[in-house]
Amino acid sequence: MLYLIGLGLSYKSDITVRGLEIVKKCSRVYLEHYTSILMAASKEELEEFYGNKVILADRELVESGAEEILKNSETEDVAFLVVGDPFGATTHTDLVLRAKQSNIPVEIVHNASVMNAVGACGLQLYNFGQTISMVFFTDNWRPDSWYGKIMENRRIGLHTLVLLDIKVKEQSIENMARGRLIYEPPRYMSISQCCEQLLEIEESRGTKAYTPDTPVVAISRLGSAGQSFKSGTIQELSEYDAGEPLHSLVILGRQCHELELEYLLEFCDNKEKFRNDILQDQEYFKPAPWVPPTEEEDED
């Protein structure tokens, strides 16, 4: 059996009881180590807690060496551990499909992820639209395919969750070209860098999916003892030091419920200004007022 087991957001003990019981009995335990990290637990701490050896699975192993993970899974119990929930990344869906194609039985053990824990900032989950990912820009690669999704969300009044890039066990272009297995130090995108990239793309696009004054909420170290939130505008948070990772951001939709607003006011520096920023932002994409049809239009 192949087990995909969610670990939750932060602590070694965030794993469910059922998940822990499964891990203890597995012959091999892989920890997916590139879409996210468990903030408050090291590999060694997990091994001690699980009573089992943990194999770190980088992007290359999961995406190109899935056969190694699936090897003998039809006769052995193999666990694939994912920070958050197993289906928080499309890569893991691919692993499940590969297993099923090989007639390997699969069982999923779910857990909390940023996709539902984001509600801790006070925004209501059913008011969220499409989630986007913000990657690190380079000198010659500045992708903006996510821009249209923000526009679509904002047009219908929905919030946009922005997942910030992390780089774990990544190679430089030079080392990759030369075939040298030398890896760069881990990098985690900050709130300020994400906001700077948002502003850069809006300036180049110029169609106002959002503006520098659009309200946003910074979410830092979600699910840990150091969890924190900060509300303000994109411009304001482009200068915000959010501290240690991990981070994510929410771009507010055109519609903000009064209860959501009251919650967000606890996280801003100037409540009156933030309330006004919300009211001003609601004018964007505001539907035109309804006008009764004329007699001629009725006849048509």
Binding residues for S-adenosyl-L-methionine: 9, 85, 88, 113-114, 164, 222, 247
Q: Is the distance from CB of 274 to CB of 215 less than 8 angstroms?
A: yes
276-287: b (≥16 Cβ within 10 Å) or e: ebbeebbeebee
Q: Rounded CA gap, 57 and 89, in Å?
A: 14
| Cα–Cα distance measured from residue 109 to residue 128, given in angstroms and rounded to the nearest whole number | 24
Please say whether the beta carbons of 246 and 166 come within 8 A. yes
Binding-site residue positions? 9, 85, 88, 113-114, 164, 222, 247
Distance CA 162, CA 215 (A): 13
Three-class SS state of 236 = helix
Is the separation of the CB atoms in 37 and 12 below 8 Å?
no
Instruction: Count other C-beta atoms under 10 Å from residue 24's C-beta.
Output: 13
Tell me how far apart the alpha carbons of residues 260 and 264 are, in angstroms, rounded to a whole number. Answer: 6
